[in-house]
């Protein structure tokens, strides 16, 4: 039985989001807005199929994938770079590798207690986000 990420989650902390955005080449004005945001994630999981909707007052981002099936990701409204993405289980963690122009790009989701964690990686930068159930 895989871990169950289903739910609506609100951001409560966002460590080094600035460094992550700089690594992605996000411009200063956009970063200023983005770091004020408190995004919400709505995760719908059916076994190994995922639908993750990240919403905010500024931009929204939708990601749909199946574990072990590589897909094209466009990062529209984020840095807009296309990449090939693959999500796999590493024990109870959901690990995404985003292969493209940026080295070492990807993210990891996991649950700790009743909190949702997200680590976002790009080049030598790591952003750590924590979400609580809405
Ligand atoms: O999550 O990929 O849950 O896709 C990363 C922002 C900010 C836009 C957010 C909008 C990267 C301006 C998505 C924030 C910074 C800054 C809310 C993280 C780029 C642009 C959408 C992500 C995965 C895992 C699912």
Token duo for residue 93: 């963690």
Q: What are phi and psi of 27, to 5 degrees?
A: -70, 160
For residue 1, tell me if it sits in a domain. no
pTM here is: 0.97
Full residue range of the structural domain in which residue 109 is found: 7-133
* Average pLDDT over every residue of 23-31: 98
pLDDT in tens, 90-110: 999 999 999 999 999 999 999
For residue 24, tell me if it sits in a domain. yes
pLDDT band at 86 (very low <50, low <70, confident <90, very high): very high
For residue 84, tell me if it sits in a domain. yes
For residue 106, tell me if it sits in a domain. yes
Which one-letter DSSP state was computed for residue 57?
Answer: S
Residues 117 and 111: beta-carbon distance below 8 Å: yes
- Determine what percent of the chain is predicted with pLDDT higher than 90: 99
For residue 128, tell me if it sits in a domain. yes
Q: Is the CB of 94 under 6 A from ligand 1?
A: no
Mutate to test the pocket of ligand 1, among 16, 42, 61, 74 (most ligand atoms within 8 A of CB): 61
pLDDT band at 49 (very low <50, low <70, confident <90, very high): very high
pLDDT the model gives residue 73: 98
For residue 90, tell me if it sits in a domain. yes
ipTM of predicted assembly, 2 dp: 0.97
Q: Is the CB of 111 under 6 A from ligand 1?
A: no
Token duo for residue 98: 């985003």
Mutate to test the pocket of ligand 1, among 34, 45, 57, 106 (most ligand atoms within 8 A of CB): 34
For residue 45, tell me if it sits in a domain. yes
For residue 108, tell me if it sits in a domain. yes
pLDDT in tens, 111-130: 999 999 999 999 999 999 99
Q: How many domains does the chain have?
A: 1
CB hemisphere CA count around 21 (13 angstroms)? 17
Residues 69 and 59: beta-carbon distance below 8 Å: no
Count of beta carbons in the 10 Å neighbourhood of residue 61: 16
Task: Tell me: pLDDT of 64 over 90.
Answer: yes
CATH number assigned to the domain comprising residue 118: 2.40.128.20
Mutate to test the pocket of ligand 1, among 16, 41, 78, 120 (most ligand atoms within 8 A of CB): 78
Q: Is the CB of 26 under 6 A from ligand 1?
A: yes
């Amino acid at each position: 039985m895989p871990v169950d990420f289903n739910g609506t989650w609100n951001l409560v902390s966002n460590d080094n989001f600035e460094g992550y955005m700089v690594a992605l080449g996000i411009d200063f004005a956009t970063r200023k807005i983005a770091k004020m945001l408190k995004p919400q994630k709505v995760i719908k999981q059916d076994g190994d199929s995922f639908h993750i909707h990240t919403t905010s007052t500024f931009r929204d981002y939708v990601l749909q994938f199946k574990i072990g099936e590589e897909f094209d990701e466009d990062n529209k409204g984020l840095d807009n770079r296309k990449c090939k993405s693959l999500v796999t289980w590493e024990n109870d963690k959901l690990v995404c590798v985003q292969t493209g122009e940026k080295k070492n790009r990807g993210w990891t989701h996991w649950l700790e207690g009743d909190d949702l964690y997200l680590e976002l990686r790009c080049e030598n930068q790591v952003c750590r986000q924590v979400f609580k159930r809405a």
